[in-house]
Amino acid sequence: MVRLAAPRSTNVLLIGETGTGKEVIAKAIHKLSQRREGPYIRVNCGALHENLLESELFGHIKGAFTGAVENKPGRFEAAHLGSIFLDEINSMSPKLQVKLLRVLQEREFERVGESRTIRVDVRVIAATNAALEDLVEQGQFREDLYYRLNVVPIVLPPLRERREDIPLLAHFFLKKYIDQNKLSIPADLSPELTAALKVHDWPGNVRELENAIERLLVLSDNGHLAPELLRLDRPRVTTRVTTKGGGPVGHDVPSLIRALVRAGVSSAMPSDVRLYDFVVGGVERELIEQVMRQFDGVRVKAANRLGINRNTLHKKLDEFKLEDQKNELGAPPPPDGEAVAEGV
């Protein structure tokens, strides 16, 4: 997709989580395009306040605002006949979305504080770490701007969904930092190190992997690249399960949920069974049952742990026919509106 889109001046929208390599792809698109001899300008739209971002993108004249002591061209002017990469476009304010839309449609704008119109020839490559279509539905992102940007969408999957790429990327970064630091060690990954890299979930994606490899080289002794030097024990929300050997192993809860949903979606089921009820209802029932067992059927503690009130919990016990757990609780809670003195 990158090679197909790059030669043309079409707008490109890169979609992916933080650290998936969107800037690398943006640079590749520019270098493979007919604008490769022109400038490549990057702007992080999420790093600046609205007023500062407006000045950064479109420039300003002397006296346009407090602190504007001289005329300053904007990044769009700097990118003339080249490409501009607008990272985190999803964080752009409605006011700036209007100005950007005009640049995309008319190829013109004015500096802040100036009435003179400036025309530019710029290719726009935008990136988002959020679903723009959802922001459009929520009224936070202009629909017309979305369609202007989304001419060629390129989705960059997170590293956890392309684990087969991990050894190749790790070897690339390993060689990069060996060469950069002029180290005399082989750029080889042991089977143990490869296994440790592939089992990690990489919430920081390619960026986290690169940092881990650089850290590995810094901490290694005499070129021995031990897996424990990766230090991938970042604090995470985990659950503990037991392996066949009896030892506990940590699992990332969001990853387990994703795996469960994928399994549910791909499962064969009767046509009269609704997928939503099958997956969500099943998870909800299991969650309530496990928490009830954890607190020996004490409804107050279970409801508090679940973050719901006792009436809701009682209704769920009825809905899922968890009679044993409900019977351990004694009488049901009073109807809504009645005073309850409990836990005092």
- Considering the domain architecture, whether residues 105 and 133 belong to the same structural domain is answered as yes
Q: Do 143 and 50 belong to one domain? A: yes
Tell me: do 113 and 133 sit in the same domain.
yes
Is the same domain home to 131 and 215? no
Q: Give me the sign of the Cα torsion angle 72, 74, 79, 80.
A: negative
Q: 10 Å Cβ neighbour count for 42?
A: 17
- Please count the structural domains in the chain: 3
Residue at 61 is within a domain: yes
Report DSSP state, residue 14: E
Q: Are residues 75 and 112 in the same domain?
A: yes
Looking at the structure, do residues 182 and 307 belong to the same domain, yes or no?
A: no
Domain contains 169: yes
Report, in angstroms and rounded to the nearest whole number, the Rg of the chain calculated over CA atoms: 27
Is residue 236 domain-resident?
no
Q: Output phi, psi for 246, to 5 deg.
A: 95, -10
What's the Cα-to-Cα distance from 309 to each of 128, 288, 304, 314, rounded to whole Å? Answer: 38, 13, 7, 9
Entry pTM: 0.60
Domain-embedded: residue 115 = yes
Any idea of the CA torsion for 336, 337, 341, 344, to the nearest 10 degrees? Answer: 80
Residue 249 forms part of a structural domain = no
Report yes or no on 248 lying in a domain. Answer: no
CA gap 296, 285 in Å, rounded:
16
CATH number of the domain bearing residue 296: 1.10.10
* Assigned domain for 209 exists: yes
Name every residue whose Cβ is closer than 8 Å to that of residue 203 and which is 6 or more positions away in sequence. 234, 236, 252
Residue where a domain stops, chosen among 110, 125, 155: 155
Q: Are 97 and 216 part of one and the same domain?
A: no
DSSP string, 159-205: GGG-GGGHHHHHHHHHHHHHHHTT--S-----HHHHHHHHHS--TTH
**Residue 187 and residue 136 in one domain:** no
CA dist list (Å): 67 to 60, 61, 71, 110? 11, 11, 11, 19
CATH number at residue 208: 1.10.8.60
* Pair (23, 105) in one structural domain: yes
302-307: Cβ within 8 A, 24+ apart:
none
Domain boundary among 107, 139, 155: 155
Domain with residue 151: its CATH number is 3.40.50.300
CA dist list (Å): 254 to 198, 215, 251, 261, 304: 17, 26, 9, 11, 22
Q: What is the pLDDT along the chain (344 residues), one digit of tens a residue?
A: 888 888 888 999 999 998 888 998 999 999 999 999 999 999 999 998 888 999 999 999 999 888 888 999 999 999 999 999 999 999 999 999 999 999 999 999 999 999 999 999 999 999 999 999 999 999 999 999 999 999 999 999 999 888 888 898 899 899 999 999 888 888 888 899 999 899 888 988 999 999 999 998 888 876 778 887 787 755 444 444 343 344 433 445 665 676 677 666 655 555 556 778 777 877 888 899 888 888 888 888 888 889 898 888 888 888 888 765 544 444 444 454 444 444 33
- Please indicate, yes or no, whether residues 311 and 200 belong to a single structural domain of this protein: no
Distance CA 30, CA 21 (A): 15
Question: Does residue 237 lie in a domain region?
Answer: no
Residue 29 structural domain: 2-155
The residue from 90, 125, 155 where one domain ends is 155
131 shares its domain with 168: no
Same domain, 13 and 147: yes
